Amino acid sequence: MSTRFKGFALVAILAAAIGAVPALAQENPLDTVPITVTTDQASYADGETIVISGETKDYISGTQVSITVINPIGNVVTVQQIDVETDKTYSTSITAGGGLWKAAGTYTVKVQYGGKNRSNEATFEFGGSAGGAPSGKKFHVENTDFDVSYSITGGKVLGITADVEAKSLLVSIQTTSDGVLTITLPRDLIDAKINGEDDSFFVLIDGKQIDLKQETTSQAGSTTPSSPTGSTAPSSPIGSTTPSSPTGSTAPSSPIDSITPTSTYRTLTIHFQDGAEKIKIIGTEFGSYSSISGSNNPSAKGGGCLIATAAFGSEMAPQVQQLRETRDNIVMQTKSGATFMTAFNSVYYSFAPTVADWERQNPIFKEMVKATITPLLSTLSILNYVNIDSEAEMLGYGIGVILLNIGMYFVVPVFVIMKLRNIKLIQKNSH
């Protein structure tokens, strides 16, 4: 081979190598997207572990990657928020299976790192699940024998406490941003039903009720729309199959929806804003008293004032706080008062969730309830201005307040009706 030919060959090889360098550089996905996401397999069977991993173009200290998995019908099946390593990589694993993974088909993994401009998605195939216990992190519910599965973005769960008398769970959270709590509730622990059919849970975030247009879902998963009068919130209905807002988005307009329930679990997806501390989930049925540690049960301080809260719009309303303080600081401080409250709660919480639900659905009914209970609040305030140091005094003042309310709500209306009737008879006889 001639020297000239060898020279030309060498130049050609060098040119090709130089040209290949930018071509190879362009193959790095992070040159075109701010974050990558992949799964370790293209398809999975029931019970298999899915490894989700990726890399970010930039490292943002203190910022986590939000990972949302959505099933073929648009429902969120799991949400996680994980840290990014200093080498800009992230990885997590989830178990494919459980009540939320019944649908077979293409599942979508959506990731977001900081703002919406740092997001991406990938897909995988899943053959469907036969159901069973839900996957995800578990948290023990204080004062019960139950654990609940959950996932959260934008914060962390600090504790979950049961309130038997109020048929509710109180979830304490610490937020870092707007986020989503997805919590799977065993029906044996708490449920919401009317006439045997699934009904909406009553949810408060920091004492403020969530007013939504909702749907009820039967155990079979069918939906029956119920359009509450006066509801202005856009629908992301309980029991619906519409997709939830992606994680990490700004404050959503529909703060709660529910994934199709199973015969043993109800799953709620609750959107909260940064700064939220308490999420209260109220149902109509609670687990058997045998599964509750009575000595530590927070309901010993009384349950939630559901009707008053719905009427005045917040657990922090002055009227609701007055009721709570009177109950906890005065009535519950004596044996006779505690006995009365136990008997009262057994009746009150059998209908209070339903009445509160009606109030949320009908503004006129809400105003009627507010007007009705206002005199009751006035009479109870008497207890705040007297010294009750003995059982006898508690009984005396308590019976006095009860008789006063019986007079206002029953005796006076009967007296007025009879008086009007007599006047009408006199006028009739005079003619």
Q: Give pLDDT tens digits for 55-104.
A: 998 888 888 899 999 999 888 888 888 889 989 999 988 888 776 788 88
pLDDT at 218: 35
Class of residue 54 by CB neighbours under 10 A (exposed 0-12, middle 13-18, buried 19+): buried
Can you name the residues that pair with 209 across neighbouring β-strands? 204
Q: How far apart are CA 9 and CA 132, in angstroms?
A: 67
- Whole-number pLDDT of residue 36: 93
Instruction: Classify burial at 38, counting beta carbons within 10 Å of its beta carbon; exposed 0-12, middle 13-18, buried 19 or more.
Output: middle
Going by their DSSP bridges, the two strands 119-126 and 43-44 should be labelled as parallel
305, 324 contact by CB (below 8 A):
yes
Instruction: Select the highest-mean-pLDDT range: 99-113, 226-240, 353-367.
Output: 99-113
| pLDDT at residue 110 in the model | 93
Using CA atoms, how far residue 247 sits from 60, 109, 135, 154, in Å, is 18, 11, 19, 8
Q: What is the rounded average pLDDT for all residues in the chain?
A: 74
Contact between 291 and 145 under an 8 Å Cβ cutoff? The reply is: yes
Choice among 95-99, 119-123, 210-214, 350-354 with the minimum mean pLDDT: 210-214
SS3 category, 117: coil
Is residue 176 scored above 60 in pLDDT? yes
Predicted confidence at residue 363, as pLDDT, reads: 87
Q: Would you state the structure tokens that stand for residue 335, as one six-digit string?
A: 């044996």
Confidence of residue 230 (pLDDT cuts 50, 70, 90): very low
Which among 35-44, 312-321, 386-395 has the top mean pLDDT? 35-44
State residue 259's pLDDT score.
Answer: 55
pLDDT at 4: 56
In percent, how much of the chain has pLDDT > 70?
A: 73
Is 222 a residue whose pLDDT tops 50? no
Closest CA relative to residue 366, chosen from 305, 310, 283: 310
- Determine the average pLDDT of the residues in 149-172: 86
Q: What is the reported pLDDT for 249?
A: 37
The helix (H) or strand (E) run that includes residue 16 is: helix 3-25
Q: What is the pTM of this model?
A: 0.41
pLDDT, greater one: 402 or 22: 402
Mean pLDDT value across residues 363-391: 83
Q: What pLDDT does 49 receive?
A: 82
